[in-house]
Copies of this chain bind each other. A is one copy, B any other.
């Protein structure tokens, strides 16, 4: 650095200008298995999302996405990874930045802008996982997701959260969701969830991100059911197999004891 530059920087005071607080909020998706009657039947897979019940105002007792404040020395990605790891105890392998939410009045505490991330947790880890209580001892739960005709429904046992949204374009033609009605969800998190879900579904239709729900090796039917659970659209098995064929590599292992012909196990290729 030139001496001139050094001199300039010494006199430069970022603190003289107002600054916002910055957070990372993460929409973490996973799959929830539901056993079906009949010893041969494959369990049904359902898409679910992790939410945390707020222990403090604002939006006390409402449900919110896991997340937290950006700290000095970290990037927004590492912040998202750290917060999620603290919350779930699981290693975070995948993040996607899906938007930034900076409406001035979005948080009653003041000027707080949120980086929204998408993540996917391996189903295997999910079942082993003990969800850690957050720092403020609030409780965390996985909610099954339904999202049709602009109505988002989240269910966890007795708890049912719903939100009605509308897909719009802002003044700069950017795609956004507007909240028409929201019950039980904190802040603008219904918007974030809707956006994350739209992103995830788009990716899953193009055979991306679906591998991250499953263990290292899997059967093609498991992979297909995963795609169907995420997108909400059924596929014909024969066609799915052909389209996926150059994205997977077969192993020499097969499933056993399933009451039907053994299935070859595959892994992601490339």
Chain B residue numbers with a CB within 8 Å of A4 are: 57, 60
Query: Considering only CB atoms, which chain B residue lies closest to A59 in the complex?
Result: B5
Q: Which residue of B lies closest to A57 (CB)?
A: B5
Are A103 and B75 in contact (CB-based, < 8 A)?
Answer: yes
CB pair A76–B14 under 8 Å, yes or no, is no
Measured CB to CB, the closest approach of chain B to A70, in angstroms, equals 7
Interface residues of A in 167-199 (CB under 8 A from B): 170-174
Q: Which residues of B contact A92 (CB under 8 A)?
A: 172
Q: Which residue of B lies closest to A18 (CB)?
A: B72
Encode A71-103 as 1/0 by CB contact (under 8 A) with B.
Answer: 111111100110000000000111111011011
Minimum CB–CB distance from A117 to chain B (whole Å) comes to 9
A1-33: which have CB < 8 Å to B?
A: 1-2, 4-5, 8-9, 12, 14, 17-22
- Determine the distance from Cα of A111 to Cα of B15 in the docked complex, in whole angstroms: 10
Tally of A interface residues using CB under 8 Å: 52
Q: What 0/1 readout, one digit per residue, does chain A (143-166) give for beta carbons within 8 Å of chain B?
A: 000000000000000000000000
Q: Which residues of B contact A18 (CB under 8 A)?
A: 71-72
In Å, the complex CA distance between A60 and B93 comes to: 39
- Pick the contact of A72 from B57, B69, B97, B111 — CB < 8 Å? B111
For A119, give the chain B residue with the smallest CB separation: B172
What are 8 A-B contacts defined by CB distance under 8 Å?
A4-B60, A19-B19, A70-B113, A72-B104, A72-B111, A75-B103, A95-B173, A100-B100
Residues of A within 8 A of B (CB): 1-2, 4-5, 8-9, 12, 14, 17-22, 56-58, 60, 69-77, 80-81, 92-97, 99-100, 102-104, 108-113, 115, 170-174
**Given A9-B109, A22-B22, list of 19 further CB < 8 A pairs?**
A2-B60, A4-B60, A5-B58, A5-B108, A8-B56, A8-B58, A9-B57, A12-B110, A14-B110, A14-B112, A18-B71, A19-B22, A72-B111, A74-B102, A77-B172, A93-B173, A94-B172, A95-B172, A95-B173
